[in-house]
Structure 1
Amino acid sequence: MMKNKNNNFPQQTHFVGVLVPEDITLTLEDCRRYMNERYGCMSGYGTPIHITLVPPFHLPEEFSTADLAAAISSDVLSQSENLMFDAHIDNFDAFGDRTIYAKVLRGEKWTVLRDKVLAAVLKVAPGCTKKDQRAFQPHLTVANRDIPAGVSTAALEVMNELNLVEDFPVDNITIFERKGGKWEAAWSGEL
């Protein structure tokens, strides 16, 4: 079992999210490039643009990505006609100085989808993660953790000039797996 740098707990191996259409991905990759070139931000840039449904967790070795995929297929994708919807991006926002993101409007459909995916993960590997008790805020991270203090407001002003206001289909569930220190899309199922 791989441990994290501090050897206090097992390294996170998986998370589950939703990939977005290529045009949105390209716009947000440009925003990441701006944050890197202007402010030196690099955290999370190896991860594909996505909305996290189930945050990173450690999947015990006796379970596999295929086990997660099978549970999500049978418990979530089988109900796709009730779970697919259009989401809306309303420009950019920040969680304090720690995360800048494209703001996806929250709603009951997001919460239902997140809860069903989480239930499928816990069905495979009980106790590997738990439900966040905060209200679910879907978002598309541009920069996090290594944003220099005090620059979020200026960076948001630049990004909000893009006027990123767009609808997109929530039409997939994707399992990401850590491989060689990077997160990769290991499996994706269509809603």
Structure 2
Amino acid sequence: MLHFIAIVTPEEINRKVLQWKFYMRDQFGCKVALKSPAHITLISPFMMPDNLQPGLQELLQPFASREQHFSIQLKNFAAFKPRVIYVDVLPSPRLTEFKTALETTLLQSNRFPVKKEERPFHPHVTIANRDLHKKDFPLAWQHFQQINYEVTFTANAFALLRHNGQIWEIIHSFPLGN
């Protein structure tokens, strides 16, 4: 099954992001982003048999307990033109360090089918992705460029998500610190 690891935003942010995802669905037929809660991907989707899940949780639990909470600031919107629109995550050395430490922990264990990410880490909260048609991008992008949005939240956990064939479900949350 497909899995990924992410920081899931608090519920009040998820509700706001959901409104924008519904706008994209209603205006442009974009549905893919509706299949997951608002999140910042730390480890991209990877195929893993369900029987490896307990071992992964055993590895991630002590990692999480050693890590401290940190702030994440979301501000306005950005895009990977011409297919993706997202809430922008302001640059954060702490978030980058956290992602790198998590990836290193997984790769060093050499027990799970996680690959080293070749692309630079570009944290974001997706509003619309693969199913946004190139021809619709300018109009959708114009809409989001007019919205001011700024919020800060505390990352106090990260989650393991699994695709159930329909949507992404949080199957385990790992609180940070003690």
Q: Counterpart of 1:163?
A: 148
Partner Cα separation in structure 1 for residue 56 and residue 21 of structure 2: 30
List gaps (5 residues or longer) in structure 2: none
Structure 1 vs Structure 2: percent identity of aligned residues?
28
- Pick aligned residue for 2:37 from 48, 56, 71: 48
| 1:125 positional shift | 4.9
Instruction: Show the 5 A alignment for 1:12-161.
Output: 13-60=2-49, 62-64=51-53, 66-74=54-62, 76-81=63-68, 84-126=69-111, 128-161=113-146
Contact 2:21 2:33 in 1 (8 A): no
Contact 1:94 1:152 in 2 (8 A): no
Letter paired with 1:111: T
| 1:96 positional shift | 0.8
| 1:134 positional shift | 2.5
Letter paired with 2:64: L
| 1:68 positional shift | 1.5
Runs of 4+ aligned residues of structure 1 deviating over 4 Å after TM superposition are none
Contact 2:87 2:125 in 1 (8 A): yes
Cα pair distance change 1:106/1:32, threshold 3 Å: same
| 1:144 positional shift | 0.5
TM-score, normalized by length of structure 2? 0.89
Partner Cα separation in structure 2 for residue 73 and residue 30 of structure 1: 33
Per-residue deviation, residues 107-144 of structure 1 (Å, max 9, x unmatched): 32122111222233335554612222332111000111
Specify the SS of the correspondent of 1:162.
Answer: coil
Partner Cα separation in structure 2 for residue 126 and residue 67 of structure 1: 8
Partner Cα separation in structure 2 for residue 160 and residue 154 of structure 1: 10
Partner Cα separation in structure 2 for residue 24 and residue 144 of structure 1: 19
TM-score, normalized by length of structure 1? 0.84
List gaps (5 residues or longer) in structure 1: 1-11
Equivalent pairs counted in the alignment come to 176
